[in-house]
Amino acid sequence: MTGNPRRHWKSVCKGLVLGTILTSCTILLYCISSPAINFSIPEVPVPYSCAHRPSQPHTKARTNTSQISPSQNCSPKVDIMFMKTHKTASSTFLNILFRFGEKHHLKFAFPDSRNDFFYPSLFQRSHVKDYRPGMCFNIMCNHMRFNAPEVAKLLPTDTSYITILRDPAELFESSFHYFGRLVPFTWKIPGDDKLTEFLLDPQAYFDPEGFNFFYLKNLLFFDFGHDNMMKLDDPRVDDGIKIISERFQLVMLVEYFEESLILLKEALCWEMDDLLFFKLNARKGSTVSKLSSEQRARALEWNSIDWKLYQHFNQTFWKKVEVYGRQRMAEDVAELLRRNEAMASICIEEGHAVEAGRIQETAMQPWQPIGQKSILGYNLKKNVDKAHQRLCRKMLMPEIQYLTELGVNLWLTKLWSHVREIFNW
Ligand SMILES: *[C@@H]1O[C@H](CO)[C@@H](O)[C@H](O)[C@H]1NC(C)=O
Ligand SMILES: *[C@@H]1O[C@H](CO)[C@@H](O)[C@H](O)[C@H]1NC(C)=O
């Protein structure tokens, strides 16, 4: 390509034109969809709990009682706030929550018209579909910019707050890959390897006033509703971490996903059955880090608040594992892995994820980043036995399709996907 300056120039022009159209569309979509007025909603005290008793009869039918651990003489917690952070395996976790919610007939607080609560605006109760003061909701789990007081005005007092973090260097790389093209200041980064170029001198490219800038700087801290642009030694950084640790009962880690789920099972009194999962929304070749050690160091320095946040919760995580018992944890993780594998051989054609082009059913196509087809998906096995058909289908279903199935109106998300189809992006 370097040998042909005219072709290069043409592709730059094409990129610019498409980029401009794309941003205009995005801005337009988001402007018309952001609630312009936040008229004040009357405040009604939230109930203590939104759990309803009759959950047992539905569950017992499929549960093999010999698999319930004898220590479980509690009833599963069903009031759950999952703070879905970006690029943190949270689609996989959402699938677990969706199935749990369906099993116990729980009420989800869903967004309206799109699959997030008007991110990056701070969460407001008015973003919840069909919200009226005094309503009972069990689970809230879509992307939002966290706003603790507003969330507390919506969910019952006994709600368990859960979230998940990921190593900030890996998260940054993933976010750059997935959202980079939606951040206009990345368009002027020269070369094919924009990530490397950016990390060499972030200040030269980064624009803190730029559209979508937050995707590329301390995205975790931003998602939790805090200021992602602070200096690391600002006292509000530690305050922010403290606020998060007081609010969330469990902070899971992507790097220890199975261990996290076992801690969740313990904290919420769930069953092993509830934890079964297939990795959803995974990227091609994502099992190995794409960062050199130098890039990693630069990415951590650039996202130093997130790095501090991650290290803090890495410590508390392993304290929890210690309390749970290392040996017991190892055994439970092994069992979960074994059962996931068993499910994979029951449900998945070829037993593993495949590239988008090889997915046969549209219902199984995952959402792709702009201009890429890097997200893997699955083919449901042809002759799954009757007993597993429903479960297999649900476990493999990408987030958008599952949300639709749960009755969420996603017209904006779908319009966006049509726009992308037209540009073949
Ligand atoms: C329950 O599970 C155990 C082991 O997982 C198995 O040996 C037993 O046959 C199962 N019982 C029923 C009724 O399915
Ligand atoms: C997380 O904590 C464990 C156990 O203390 C430690 O071995 C590991 O290096 C920590 N990881 C990070 C990224 O700080």
Domain extents in the chain: 1-34, 45-52+73-270+287-324+400-422
Q: How many angstroms separate the alpha carbon of residue 314 from the centre of ligand 2?
A: 6
The share of the chain scoring above pLDDT 90, in percent, equals 52
What pLDDT, in 10s, does the model give residues 199-246?
999 998 888 888 998 999 999 999 999 999 999 999 999 999 999 999
Mutation choice for ligand 2 from 314, 318, 319, 320, CB with most ligand atoms inside 8 A: 314
| Confidence check: pLDDT of 328 > 90 | yes
Q: For the chain, how many helices (H) and strands (E)?
A: 16, 4
- pLDDT bucket at 59, cuts 50 / 70 / 90: very low
Q: How many angstroms separate the alpha carbon of residue 315 from the centre of ligand 2?
A: 7
| Residue minimizing CA distance to atom 12 of ligand 2 | 311
> Rounded to two decimals, what is the model's pTM?
0.82
Q: Which long-range contacts (CB under 8 A, 24 or more apart) does 206-211 make?
A: 210/183, 210/184, 210/185, 211/23, 211/27, 211/182, 211/183, 211/184
- pLDDT bucket at 35, cuts 50 / 70 / 90: low
Q: Is 314 in the pocket of ligand 2 (CB under 6 A)?
A: yes
Residue 187 vs residue 422, higher pLDDT = 187
| Confidence check: pLDDT of 116 > 50 | yes
pLDDT of residue 101: 95
The amino acid at 384: V
Mutation choice for ligand 1 from 65, 66, 388, CB with most ligand atoms inside 8 A: 66
Coil vs helix vs strand at 250: strand
pLDDT of residue 405: 86
Contact 101, 138 (CB under 8 A): yes
Nearest atom within ligand 2 for CA of residue 317: 2
- CATH class of the domain at 45-52+73-270+287-324+400-422: alpha beta
Q: Is 425 in the pocket of ligand 2 (CB under 6 A)?
A: no
Q: How many angstroms separate the alpha carbon of residue 56 from the centre of ligand 1?
A: 19
Integer angstrom CA distances of residue 387 from 65, 335, 397: 17, 21, 17
